[in-house]
Structure formats: C-alpha cells, structure tokens
C-alpha cells in the first residue's frame, strides 16, 4: 500500500480532537512534571523516564530537583555526585546522568542560562535526541510537533487502522494534533495509550473517548505492532554497572579481584562472572567517560573519572 493510499484519520477531525482533550482534562494521572512548564524540570523528567518505570521516576525526580533545583545548580555540581544519585535511585544507564550534567553546562555556557525552545535547537544539547527535544518543546514551550512513541503508534494503529509504517504514523499524528496545542495534545494522546489503549485495552472501563471512531473497537481485533517489554533491572548489566560506580565512589580505586566481590557475591576470578566479565563492564564504563582503567603491577585498577 502506498502512502497516498494508506488509511488516514476520520474526516470529523475536530470532534475526534475535542473528545480526547475533554477526556484528558476531565481526569488523568497527576504526574508532578505535568504541573510545570519549566524546561529544566521537564528535561529531567524525560531523561529519567527513558526505559525506567514511572513509579521509580516520580520519587527520584522530586529528590533530584530538591538537590539541584536549577540547570545552573546542576552544572555547578560534581559529576560523580550526579552519577552517584542516578545509581542510588536505580535509574538505569549512568551515561544519561553524565549527558544531563553536560546539557546543563551547555545551557549556561552557550545559551546564557535560557533553554532553547525549538525542537531542532534543543537537540544541540548533549544527550537530547529528537523525541526528548520534541517533548521539552511541547511541554515547556507548547512549541512541539506531534509525539509518536510506542503508545501513540498502538493507538493510531487500532483506532484508525493506520498501517505499521513510521511515515504513516507521523502523518496521521500530525494531522490530528491541533495547531499550537502540542502541550495538551501530546499529554492527552500519550495518556490514552498509557491507561486506555494498553496492550490489553480497557476501552469501556476507562471510557475511551475514541470508541465511536475506533476500528479495533468496532471489529474486536485489538492486534497492534509488536512492543518490546522493559527488560528486568534486577540482575541486569545496568544494575552491575551501577554497583561499580557506587563501589568506586566509596573506595576511590580498586583492583579487579577487590572490586568483583563487592558488586557480585558469586564473583570468581576465572568463573563465568569473573575478571573477563568485569573487564567488559569497566570497558563500557570507560567508553562512557565514567571510569578510568589502568594496568599496574600486572593488575587492572579502576577508579572514577574525575
């Protein structure tokens, strides 16, 4: 099917828009970052939310902002402290903490302390890709494009029979979003995918506002594009990377056989989780600019990068 022939949104677009916004404004999850238009606070929430459960993010976000309430405060912080916070709150990949710290420094040094408001310019900040840039532009400045994430794709696929094609999803999402209303619209359509049109839909239970137009609701076919599940944090490589950072913060520097047992109880120098495995973790962390590794008297010694 060509893009020109692909199914599109209903003709009565205004009614579709009004129904969703009314549903969202009547009742939605009250995340604290939805109550602010501060670009720094929103950026922190977006970076924390990447592949991390929102239940962990909510507490960490509040504590992070209490410690570093502005971009200037974060820029002035010791990077090891920021990475340590990330690890202590199980927020996943520690390089995101490093990038966030560097982005805060950029805001001060390159933008006179004021965040850019355009999605393209926001992508100039370290670690800020197209999705995050558009989210910050949308929620802080009401100046974004239509968000197209996994949940939005699932909604569009089911509701309007949009084919599983990125260009088709982008086109449909753009047609639907009311001009100049990216803040409320993107929040609303993501809420729809997050609480009503999940993998197992809750159409009637949540009073889905699009049942009137929904192809899946009409046909009973609720298939959707494959959605990867969030890998378990417990026992993951991410978890052990975090333990390395925490341990090196406490001990300054350690050799492999001193570090290994402190991050994994079943560490055995020549075992499956031994020196080779640990060297792989340290190599990744060194590539991310978080640790330094050197050979000394035949031993490998690791320390946090200052």
pLDDT digits (tens, 9 = 90+) for 145-191: 999 988 999 999 999 999 999 999 999 999 999 999 999 999 999 99
pLDDT higher than threshold 50 for residue 209:
yes
Residues 203, 194 contacting (CB under 8 angstroms)? no
Range 196-208 average pLDDT: 90
In this prediction, residue 249 carries a pLDDT of 83
Q: How far apart are alpha carbons 57 and 86 in whole angstroms?
A: 11
pTM beyond 0.85, yes or no = no
In this prediction, residue 240 carries a pLDDT of 83
Catalytic residue among 41, 46, 105, 191, which? Answer: 46
* CB-based burial, 15-53: b 16+ in 10 Å, e otherwise: ebbebbbebbeeebeeeebeeeebbbbbbbbbbbbeebe
Residues 91, 83 contacting (CB under 8 angstroms)? no
In this prediction, residue 107 carries a pLDDT of 96
In this prediction, residue 233 carries a pLDDT of 55
Q: How far apart are alpha carbons 95 and 50 in whole angstroms?
A: 12
pLDDT digits (tens, 9 = 90+) for 12-41: 899 999 999 999 999 888 899 999 999 999
Beta-bridge mates of residue 292: 303
Q: How far apart are alpha carbons 133 and 229 in whole angstroms?
A: 24
Q: Which residues fall within 8 angstroms of residue 38, CB to CB, at 6 or more apart?
A: 140
Q: How far apart are alpha carbons 233 and 91 in whole angstroms?
A: 9
Q: Is 150 exposed, middle or buried (0-12, 13-18, 19+ CB in 10 A)?
A: middle
Mean of the per-residue pLDDT values of the chain: 88
pLDDT higher than threshold 80 for residue 2:
no
Q: How far apart are alpha carbons 87 and 201 in whole angstroms?
A: 34
Active site residue 46: yes
Max CA distance (Å), the chain: 74
Q: How far apart are alpha carbons 162 and 214 in whole angstroms?
A: 11
Residues 114, 107 contacting (CB under 8 angstroms)? yes
pLDDT digits (tens, 9 = 90+) for 30-83: 899 999 999 999 999 999 988 777 778 999 999 999 999 999 999 999 999 999
Quick one: pLDDT band at residue 222, thresholds 50, 70, 90? Answer: confident
In this prediction, residue 7 carries a pLDDT of 55
Residue that is written with structure tokens 């909604």 in the block: 155
- 3-class state of residue 55 by DSSP: helix
Distances (CA, A) of 79 to 44, 76, 85, 192, 276: 15, 9, 10, 37, 28
């Amino acid at each position: 099917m060509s893009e020109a022939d692909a199914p599109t949104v209903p003709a009565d677009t205004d009614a579709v828009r009004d129904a969703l916004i009314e549903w969202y404004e009547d009742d939605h999850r009250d995340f604290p970052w939805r109550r602010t238009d501060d670009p720094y606070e929103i950026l922190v929430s977006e970076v924390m939310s990447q592949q991390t459960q929102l239940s962990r993010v909510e507490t960490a976000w509040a504590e992070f902002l209490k410690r570093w309430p502005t971009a200037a405060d974060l820029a002035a912080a010791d990077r090891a402290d920021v990475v340590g916070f990330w690890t202590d709150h199980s927020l996943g990949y520690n390089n995101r903490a490093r990038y966030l710290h560097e982005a805060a420094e950029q805001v001060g040094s390159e933008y006179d302390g004021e965040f850019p408001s355009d999605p393209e310019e926001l992508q100039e900040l370290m670690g800020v890709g197209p999705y995050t840039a558009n989210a910050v532009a949308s929620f802080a400045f009401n100046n974004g494009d239509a968000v197209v994430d996994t949940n939005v794709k699932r909604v569009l696929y089911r509701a309007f029979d949009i084919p599983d094609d990125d260009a088709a999803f982008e086109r449909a999402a753009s047609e639907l979003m009311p001009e100049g209303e990216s803040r409320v619209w993107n929040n609303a359509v993501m809420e729809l995918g997050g609480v009503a049109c999940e993998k197992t839909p809750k159409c009637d239970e949540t009073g889905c506002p699009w049942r009137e137009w929904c192809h899946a609701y009409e046909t009973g076919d609720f298939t959707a594009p494959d959605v990867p599940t969030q890998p378990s944090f417990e026992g993951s490589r991410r978890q052990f990377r975090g333990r390395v950072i925490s341990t090196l913060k406490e001990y300054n520097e350690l050799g492999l056989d001193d570090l290994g047992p402190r991050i994994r109880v079943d560490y055995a120098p020549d075992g499956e989780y031994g020196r080779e495995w640990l060297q792989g973790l340290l190599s990744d962390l060194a590539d991310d600019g978080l640790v330094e590794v050197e050979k000394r008297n035949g031993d490998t010694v690791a320390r946090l990068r200052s």
